[in-house]
A and B are shown apart, each in its own frame.
Chain A
């Protein structure tokens, strides 16, 4: 007679990654490096925003960028050419997100001990990256005006894990039915502590406020 044996596991699939992410955060803390995980949809203007942001902060702190994509190195090359900031490309091998282990492998390839800030540009996607803790100190996301102000309702997890929501492409707001007040209200519903910063990466409008936010974050991280 066939014997059937049931072995109970009762374990969340995300457990190991969450623990690994906590370890990575503690390591970054002890080395005085701030890691920002930047997420968004494809085409929201992450790379353009980064170029604007980096030009404002690169003389004030030591920064590097890790670009995560499924394939290609166009973003890393673009950042390096436009700003001169150290920029490396990570490939996820077909996966739609980065986890803590992949982030750690990326960090092994930047000069961590001579840096204050590493910005991780995650894969363009509003679902999967929100589920996997990368070990970052903070999560930020960019929502662009053409995507619509209702996105916090449609992608609740993404907005509940983000401490900063940057609203990009505000110059085209008149052409879209984008309600900034409603958007702020929806973001608050998901995370009442989230900061909202409206910008236009193309013209640079609002990017100073974004630079101030990050400079203060890094200062607090190092001093706390």
Chain B
């Protein structure tokens, strides 16, 4: 359900960027969505269509989501590993001294204007 709130934030930010760049119509918005960001891209798409079509500048604009895989870093053996597969425990050395390197993004990458 928080996808709706997030879409409102996206719309506000891209409208501002469009204004700064004197853009009259945006044809697509490209997002980077981390695998463990808790944002579900399908839900985001659903509410995007509903909310974007209410804005003249975004009418019909597509939302593209790049999924960023979640990667943890182990401070002990200095390696990266899949956070979703192994969780907090490093599969190489068994250490719990690990943290999320990437995969938490909810980021507007770019807008495309045609």
A interface residues with partner B (beta carbon < 8 Å):
2-14, 16-17, 94-97, 99, 125, 127-128, 131-132, 157, 189
B107 with A13: CB separation less than 8 A: yes
A13 with B108: CB separation less than 8 A: yes
| Chain B residue, CB-CB nearest to A94 | B4
B112 partner, pick from A4, A127, A189, beta carbons under 8 A = A4
B interface residues with partner A (beta carbon < 8 Å):
1-2, 4-6, 9-10, 12-14, 17, 21, 23, 38, 88, 96, 105-114
Using known A-B contacts A10-B107, A12-B106, A13-B108, determine if residue A128 contacts B13 with beta carbons closer than 8 Å.
no
A7 with B9: CB separation less than 8 A: no
**Distance in angstroms between the alpha carbons of A165 and B62 in the assembled complex:** 41
B23 with A13: CB separation less than 8 A: no
B-chain residues with CB within 8 Å of residue A12 when the two chains form the complex: 105-107
A-chain residues with CB within 8 Å of residue B13 when the two chains form the complex: 9, 11, 13, 16
CB of A96, distance to nearest CB on chain B (Å): 4
B108 with A131: CB separation less than 8 A: no
Top 4 closest A-B pairs, CB basis?
A128-B2, A96-B1, A9-B108, A5-B113
A-chain residues with CB within 8 Å of residue B106 when the two chains form the complex: 12-14
A127 with B38: CB separation less than 8 A: yes
A2 with B38: CB separation less than 8 A: no
B-chain residues with CB within 8 Å of residue A94 when the two chains form the complex: 4
A95 with B21: CB separation less than 8 A: no
Can you report 18 A-B residue pairs in the complex whose CB atoms are below 8 A from each other?
A6-B110, A6-B111, A9-B17, A9-B108, A9-B109, A11-B13, A11-B107, A13-B6, A13-B10, A13-B106, A14-B106, A16-B12, A96-B4, A97-B5, A128-B1, A128-B2, A132-B5, A189-B96
B1 with A9: CB separation less than 8 A: no
Using known A-B contacts A4-B113, A13-B106, A13-B107, determine if residue A95 contacts B14 with beta carbons closer than 8 Å.
no
A95 with B4: CB separation less than 8 A: yes
**Distance in angstroms between the alpha carbons of A157 and B100 in the assembled complex:** 12
**Distance in angstroms between the alpha carbons of A88 and B59 in the assembled complex:** 38
**Distance in angstroms between the alpha carbons of A11 and B12 in the assembled complex:** 12
**Distance in angstroms between the alpha carbons of A21 and B86 in the assembled complex:** 33
CB of A93, distance to nearest CB on chain B (Å): 10
Using known A-B contacts A7-B23, A9-B13, A12-B105, determine if residue A131 contacts B111 with beta carbons closer than 8 Å.
no
| Chain A residue, CB-CB nearest to B10 | A13
**Distance in angstroms between the alpha carbons of A157 and B109 in the assembled complex:** 23
B9 partner, pick from A16, A127, A128, beta carbons under 8 A = A16
Using known A-B contacts A16-B13, A95-B5, A157-B38, determine if residue A9 contacts B113 with beta carbons closer than 8 Å.
no
**Distance in angstroms between the alpha carbons of A7 and B111 in the assembled complex:** 5
Known contacts A4-B112, A13-B9; 12 additional CB pairs below 8 A are A2-B114, A12-B106, A13-B106, A16-B9, A16-B12, A94-B4, A95-B2, A96-B1, A96-B4, A128-B2, A132-B5, A189-B96
B4 with A10: CB separation less than 8 A: no
Q: Which of B5, B21, B108 has the most CB of A within 10 A?
A: B5
